[in-house]
Amino acid sequence: MTNALTTIDALDAAGLATGAKRELLERVVERFRLRITPEMAGVASGGVAAQFVPDARELVTRPEELTDPIGDRRFSPAPGLTHRYADRVILAVTQACEVYCRFCFRRETVGAAGVLPEADFLQALDYIARTPAIREVILTGGDPLSLSPRRLESVLARLEAVPHVESLRIHSRVPVVAPARMDGAMLAALDRDKPVHLVIHTNHPDEMTPAAQAALRALSRAGVAMFSQSVLLRGVNDDADVLEALFRGLIRNRVKPYYLHHCDLAEGTSHFRTTIAEGRALMAELKRRLSGLAMPTYVLDIPGGAGKVGLMGAAAEEGPDGWVVTDRHGGRHLYQDPERP
Ligand code: SF4
């Protein structure tokens, strides 16, 4: 956690300032935290930089944007816990991350607090233990792999001790953005009796540094099954060549591309959002180039909390007023591509 860039001065010194007025950038980072690891600063040009370097356009909140874009708080039976789908829960074990991404859908909460307090964790654990329908616990945050190995081990051990919990999943950006954290202690913490699925968030092929590749190899050898999730981001990866390189790179590094998320309606992120038609055209082009194994599923988290919907199938229809998406219960929701800022 040393030498991360956390101030505009540090960005300037690293040659990563955006050229926007200093006063505007200071206002941006007062509202949405700044943190770039040395690994990401080292490859921060073009698409990689845009994900982490503050931009004055983040001060623009459009009417459709939301503080809780995917409705986590609507489905929270205990602090840190979201129970949206019957057979699984999401547990935010920390609000801290190794990097703060400018497009994050939890940008209003990440970094605001640290590790989930033990009393809150016990409350969440109690809910999981008395809800037999829950088969999978998904650790998120923040970034769960920013926890100390000792804390992570303690959390995982108590979750896997619940008899009806069959598997554990961790969503993390750490193996790519801070690969040095994936040391022997962290690998040992991840070595569980029950399956651990690691979903790695990565958006650009340049993030796959030699150190990140080594971390993924070590995770694979430790028996951790790895998948990826990426966010489709204008100016970062909204290009078939970039996405092809990203997904091929993941396969080469033992990671199955899993989800490509349409960019959520988080506040101050409209400059990152593509239209759904643009996303579908990119997926159609990738399908011509890549094997099924290398193809992720292009999804939208329906704003407000109705869950995910695939954007390439019949659940998404383009109509005169925008896209109509059908959730898993048959509910229909209108999604309008935001106007360009
Ligand atoms: S939760 Fe994930 S996407 Fe959000 S700031 Fe942290 S690392 Fe980035």
Segment 193-217, tens digit of pLDDT: 999 999 999 999 999 999 999 999 9
Q: State the pLDDT at residue 22.
A: 87
- Given the CA of residue 141, which atom of ligand 1 is nearest to it? 1
Q: What percent of the chain has pLDDT over 70?
A: 98
Q: Quick one: tokens of 279?
A: 């996303």
pLDDT at site 44? 86
8 Å CB contact between 193 and 169:
no
Q: Is 15 left (phi over 0), alpha (psi -120 to 50) or beta?
A: left
Integer Cα distance of 93 and 32 in angstroms: 20
Question: Average pLDDT in the 108-131 region?
Answer: 93
Answer yes or no: is the C-beta of 40 below 6 A from any ligand 1 atom. Answer: no
Please tell me the distance between residue 101's alpha carbon and the centre of ligand 1 in angstroms: 5
Q: Is the CB of 145 under 6 A from ligand 1?
A: no
* Amino acid identity, position 232: L
Work out the average pLDDT over 113-136: 96
Phi, psi of 83 (to 5 degrees): -120, 85
Interval 238-244 mean pLDDT: 98
Residue 340: what pLDDT?
56
Task: Residue 40: name the closest of 175, 242, 178, 203 by CA.
Answer: 178
Closest C-alpha to 41, from 76, 73, 10: 10
Q: How many A from CA of 209 to the centre of ligand 1?
A: 19
Can you tell me the distance from the alpha carbon of 232 to that of 26, in angstroms, rounded to the nearest whole number? 27
Residue 338 has pLDDT above 80, yes or no: no
Active site amino acids = 84-85, 88, 97, 101, 104, 106, 264, 301, 308
Cα of 158 vs centre of ligand 1, distance in Å, is: 25
Question: What residue segments make up the domains of the chain, in order of their start?
Answer: 61-335
Name which residue sits closest to atom 5 of ligand 1, judged by CA: 100
pLDDT band at 113 (very low <50, low <70, confident <90, very high): confident
57: left (phi over 0), alpha (psi -120 to 50) or beta: alpha
Q: Is 273 in the pocket of ligand 1 (CB under 6 A)?
A: no
Q: Counting beta carbons within 10 angstroms of the beta carbon of residue 93, is it exposed (0 to 12), middle (13 to 18) or buried (19 or more)?
A: buried
Domain 61-335: CATH superfamily is: Aldolase class I (3.20.20.70)
CA of 102 to the centre of ligand 1 (A): 9
pLDDT for res 1: 44
Distance of alpha carbon 184 from alpha carbon 47, whole angstroms: 31
**Is residue 169 over pLDDT 50?**
yes
Is the CB of residue 89 less than 8 Å from the CB of residue 168?
no
C-alpha 13 to ligand 1 mean position (Å): 24
Q: What are phi and psi of 199, to 5 degrees?
A: -105, 115
> What digits encode the pLDDT tens for the residues 52-88?
999 999 999 988 888 877 677 778 899 999 998 999 9
Residue 142 CA, closest ligand 1 atom number: 1
Q: Ligand 1 in contact with 90 (CB < 6 A)?
A: no
pLDDT in tens, 11-51: 999 988 767 788 899 999 999 999 999 999 999 887 899 99
The pLDDT value given to residue 66: 80
d(CA 176, CA 179): 6
Mean pLDDT, all residues of the chain: 93
For the CA of 100, the nearest atom of ligand 1 = 5
Amino acid at 119: A
The pLDDT tens digits for 290-302 are 999 999 999 999 9
